[in-house]
Amino acid sequence: MIVALIVACEAGFWVLLAAGLAVRYLLGRRRAGMALLMGEPLLELVLFAATAVDLKNGATPNWEHGLAALYLGFTVAYGPYLIRWLDGHAAHRLAGGPPPPKPPRYGRVRARHEARLWLRAVLGAAVALVLLELAIRYVGDGGDVSVLRTFQWLAVRTVGVYGLITLSYLLFPRKAPAADTREQGDRTLTER
């Protein structure tokens, strides 16, 4: 049941997102579109409540409950970023707005960008860890919570590996190709 609800929440996320952007840019109803986009967190509350009710009704904690916590953490951390990113693209494509800025590709600027994304992963893992810990305490000593502990370690390991990858962008920054550097220098000279 929980997996089906996770899939439904994910599908609902994309449906609400598409509807919100369509109403906002195709119909020109910015406030109505924003209201639809603000409905996204309600989906997460439904999933959280359903997971809690499932555990309250005596369900044995399993991978579905762990996955629900990881999904909620990911959505809390990356949902607003994803919505802003898609909103920028929709404004450009559907409303004639300026093209959204592309993420940096080279040097320390790229490292800072990756570090900000990693901090989102830390936030997502922290949310998942708190939810999993609450579930563990809710189940108490009488239930087998080993699966939930496994998901806690999965969240920590994922953030750790992602942190190492992010650190590699700082320690070994990618340099811009010579052609890109020459073009940027030419643009700087012509702008003066």
Q: pTM for this structure?
A: 0.80
pLDDT the model gives residue 165? 96
The proportion of the chain whose per-residue pLDDT surpasses 70, expressed as a percent, equals 93
Cα angle for residues 170, 116, 172 (degrees, 5° grid)? 10
Instruction: Answer positive or negative: Cα dihedral of 168, 169, 175, 176.
Output: positive
pLDDT digits (tens, 9 = 90+) for 96-116: 889 988 989 999 999 999 999
Separation between Cα atoms, residue 114 and residue 118, nearest integer Å: 6
Band of the pLDDT at 189, cuts 50, 70, 90?
very low
pLDDT digits (tens, 9 = 90+) for 111-155: 999 999 999 999 999 999 999 999 888 887 777 888 999 999 999
Residue type, position 39, single letter: G
Other Cβ atoms less than 10 A from the Cβ of 102: the count is 6
Decide: 107 and 172 in contact? Cβ < 8 Å. Answer: no
Average pLDDT, the chain: 86
